[in-house]
Structure 1
Amino acid sequence: MHILVVNSGSSSIKFSMFETSSREPQTLYDGEISGIGTPAAHLAIHGIDHPVPSDPSAADPIAATRIILDTVSAPRMPPVEAVGYRVVHPGPKLSDHQKITPEVLHDLAEAVSFAPLHDPAVLDVIREGQKHFPEVSHYACFDTVFHLTMPEEATTYPIPKSYRDQGVRRYGFHGLSCESIVRQLRASNLPFPKRMVICHLGSGCSVTALIDGQSVDTSMGLTPTGGVVMGTRPGDLDPGLLLYLLRQQQGDRESATAAVEKLLNHDAGMIALTSMPNDVKAIREASAKGNKEATLALKVFTRSLTKAIGGFSWLLGGLDAIVFAGGIGEHDPLTRYETLACLEPLGVAINSALNQQKTNGVRAISASDCRTTVFVIPAQEDLTIAMHVDRLARSNQ
């Protein structure tokens, strides 16, 4: 079976085609449209030997999705026999990866208030996919499912029961990434760590605590806005600060809420500290040239990671492994070093030469005498989605 996986973000959409005749889905090709909504929108695709348009007009996620669907449907491309989508937040009514039905779409539409940065766009993407491929099955894979193993004391907010009954709780995100990392570690020849934290660092960032490969706590909560500092999101804030921000807005309640929501999802985090685009590489270059705002932003970012790792270390009674994943986690050795530098007294140390190397797959970068192994592992969200879609499609058959 040929499975198309669509992984949509706030400004980009990734896509991959998998073939499932072998034991594990194999990638036939993958691609991405980046810069959606800007003149710099660009389509890149790898694994095919014929040309595709490289500079599409992708004014919004719907236009970008149509370009992707037309591209994967072109002559000489493998036929699409199932489609899987990464969905950030399923809301309180959906709790497992599943085939998309009208009822599921309705529940996802109701969940938009939980993830306004991500879910509206993915709903548009799903609807476009269903229109383009009406004869195949479509599946939703949720970032929250991995965290269903968290105990009640980790998911419960100390707020009135009436709100908790509405589904207000800690959900956790980047679950597809965490699941892929656990799978890769189990498949390696290395001892599987009992107590572990996973730092998924990309445009969105989270830290997850695991025991025996299962999530027991995580930095993100009700929405992907909380936790550690991110590119455009602030992470955890004093609730009183949110009230202050609301009181500073002009206009009615709805417009004030919308303004603060935009601030927290698009105008906070490292870009607020630097007045620069959301690009850690550029921020590091500016810091190296003496830009004090860039230096401060990097210190705020890595300090929040250190605090999260340290807190989970005490919660778990120690750490056997720390994993870095995601675009920043995999490709920025300075972030890894700065995050862990002050943890050396606790037995966490990086081997500088290993930290600078660029290799694929599971790799350890910790010092030989380090009590806690430090790994760099690529997040394989798309492959994980393909595996779930293959499982669900076979069970349906």
Structure 2
Amino acid sequence: MNGHILTCNAGSGSFKSALFCADSLELLCRLSADYHEDPSVLRITNAQGEEKNRIPLNEANSRASVEAVLDWVGKQKDIGIKAVGHRVVHGGERLTRPVRLNDEVLEEMKKLNPLAPLHQPHNITPITHICNFMPDLPQIVCFDTSFHATQSQEAKTYALPRELREKGIRRYGFHGLSYEYIASCLDLLPEKNRDRVIVAHLGSGCSACALKDGKSFATTMGLTALEGLMMRTRCGDLDPGAVLYLLREEGYAPQELEKLLYLESGLKGMAGGAGDMREILNTKEKDEKARMAFELFCFMAAREIGGLAAVLGGMQALIFTGKVGELAHKTRARICEYFTWMGLRLDESANEQNEETICANGSSVIVRAMETNEALMIARHTKRLTQGKEFPNGKERSAA
């Protein structure tokens, strides 16, 4: 398979894409936009992370981003896109593995918009744009929920009446492409520490996943990407009774409540500002709101990781990933303090230097900080599904 694979990861606040050689999956470059910048630009960096170009965006959204990416690619004489792979957050009950796009798949994804309002519509925008303007280009869709399909019924089920459970109201889990990549790297651990591993993906969105023999056993997010750990702007675990109270007593409309829980809570709601962990770490010693936000974030993360360790039957390794997990050494250290009772010990110097292995000699738990690579996982699936080996959903979509 000659040419290149383009990967797209479109969100509400950013757009991340990458170009890979289709045969070797060697990274050629990354193209990304941060919509919080003013003005927003598409940054093009080489495989070493060196910025090579900036392209102004007409608007700060995923449509403008994908248009700029395709326009730039079209001007490069040595780049030819053979297929595009997309990250889509929610696959629901039907879409449980990466698939080649067709009409049925696209309609099924749109039905899931209410379950991931912060992500799904933005994920779909580049897909429909390419359908309209490059209808013959194969597109592969990779779902964050797919990795968790190996979980037991107990891990997936809410204690609700059967008629609601049969409508698909259950736990799905997210960040699956990130966990899938980390699972593919478990051979970096000592062999005796690979069976029961917990991964904490800490970024703007946060979750944790228990891996048993490299497969998802349990995770902290559920029906939507609100459940579990405290996040940058999302509340994490919240008593459903609090939601009822806000509806009944405080007069919140559903749309207002959605905005509150998805965009105005978490670190942002606690500390103010943008909810950026870097800002919170810089101010927590003199700002009580920032200190409390930091402490609650770490407490909730430790509580969820501890629960996963209990159902997993132990924790042989703890892996931090996501930008906060990879780079915020004070956050890792505070979370790990909750597990000293089980013999976990950090190497303070290694942790402060953001080295890959950050546990001390003799620690009962291997602790690592690892960079995840969702784009590479998308590229791997795209290569596999465009080589004619597997077309589980029939012919590709040819028109919008």
Q: TM-score range by the shorter chain?
A: over 0.9
66 and 343 in structure 1: CA distance in 2 versus 1, 3 angstrom threshold: same
Residue 272 of structure 1 is matched in structure 2 by 269
* CA drift at 1:396: 5.0
Aligned counterpart, 2:397: none
1: CA distance, partners of 2:183 / 2:230: 24
Q: Distance in 1 between matches of 2:208 and 2:179?
A: 10
- Displacement after TM superposition at 1:66 (Å): 1.4
Q: Which residue of 1 aligns with 2:32?
A: 32
Deviates most, 318-327 or 48-57: 48-57
Is this contact kept in 1: 2:35–2:61, CA < 8 A? no
Deviation for aligned residue 1:317: 2.0
- Matched with 2:190 is 190
Describe the shift of the 1:305–1:55 C-alpha distance in structure 2 as closer, same or farther (beyond 3 A).
Answer: same
Deviations 1:129-151 (A, max 9, x none): 22332221001000011111110
- Separation of aligned partners in 2, 1:151 and 1:355: 35
After superposing the two structures, state which structure 1 stretch, 279-288 or 170-179, moved more: 279-288
Q: TM-score, normalised by structure 1?
A: 0.93
Q: How does 1:43-54 map to 2 (within 5 A)?
A: 43-47=42-46, 52-54=53-55
Preserved contact between residue 233 and residue 275 of structure 2 (Cα < 8 Å): yes
Distance 2:60 2:189 in 1: 46
What residue number does 2:340 align with? 344
**Alignment check: 8 A CA contact 1:92 1:166 kept:** no
The percent of aligned pairs where both chains have the same amino acid is: 35
**Residue correspondence of structure 1 range 117-136 to structure 2 within 5 A:** 117-136=118-137
After superposition, the C-alpha distances for 1:243-271 in whole angstroms (9 at most, x for unaligned) are: 111224558xxxx1111011111111110
Residue type of the alignment partner of 1:45? I
Q: Distance in 1 between matches of 2:52 and 2:332?
A: 38
CA contact (8 A) 2:46 2:52 kept: no
5 Å-filtered alignment, 1:226-265, equals 226-248=227-249, 250=251, 256-265=253-262
Counterpart for residue 396 of structure 2: none
1:151 matched to 2:147: no
CA–CA separation in structure 2 for the residues paired with 1:203 and 1:280: 9
SS at match of 1:136: coil
Quick one: distance in 1 between partners of 2:220 and 2:108?
25
More deviation in 291-300 or 48-57? 48-57
CA contact (8 A) 1:333 1:356 kept: yes
Q: Secondary structure at the match of 2:371?
A: coil
**Residue range with higher mean Cα deviation, 43-52 or 5-14:** 43-52
Residue 320 of structure 1 aligns with which residue?
A: 316
Which runs of 5 or more structure 1 residues have no equivalent in the other structure?
none
Q: Which whole-Å CA distance do the structure 2 matches of 1:358 and 1:228 have between them?
A: 22
What's the offset of the Cα at 1:62? Answer: 1.6
**Which of 284, 293, 305 pairs up with 1:297?**
293
Structure-1 separation of matches of 2:51 and 2:205:
33
Matched, 1:387 2:389: no
Which letter does structure 2 place at the counterpart of 1:294?
Answer: A
Partner SS state of residue 244, structure 1: helix
**C-alpha separation between the residues in 1 aligned to 2:288 and 2:353?**
28
Measured in 1, the distance between the counterparts of 2:118 and 2:6 equals 23
The Cα shift of 1:52 comes to 3.6
C-alpha displacement of 1:299: 0.3
Query: Residue 214 of structure 1: CA displacement?
Result: 1.0
Mapped to 1, the partners of 2:372 and 2:153 lie a distance apart of 27
Map Cα deviations across residues 164-199 of structure 1 (whole Å, 9 max, x no partner): 11111100111110110111223x373251111000
Partner of 2:22: 20
Shift of 1:92: 2.5
In the alignment, structure 2 segments of 5+ residues that lack a partner are 392-400
Q: Give 1:67 deviation, angstroms.
A: 1.7
Paired amino acid for 1:329: G
Identify the residue that residue 202 of structure 2 maps to in structure 1: 201
The one-letter code sitting in structure 2 at the alignment partner of 1:31 is L
Deviation at 1:278, TM superposition (A): 2.8
**Change in 2 beyond 3 A, CA 1:53/1:377:** closer
For residue 200 of structure 1, give the secondary structure of its aligned residue in structure 2: strand
| 1: CA distance, partners of 2:294 / 2:336 | 14
Name the CA distance, whole Å, in 2 between partners of 1:136 and 1:54.
Answer: 24
Measured in 2, the distance between the counterparts of 1:162 and 1:50 equals 53
Superimposed CA distance per residue, residues 200-255 of structure 1 (whole angstroms, 9 cap, x where no aligned partner) = 0000000111111111110000011110100000011001001111224558xxxx
* Preserved contact between residue 354 and residue 369 of structure 2 (Cα < 8 Å): no
**How many equivalent residue pairs?**
385
Task: Give the equivalent residue in structure 1 for 2:106.
Answer: 105
> 1:286, CA displacement in angstroms?
1.4
8 A contact 2:43–2:51 mirrored in 1: no
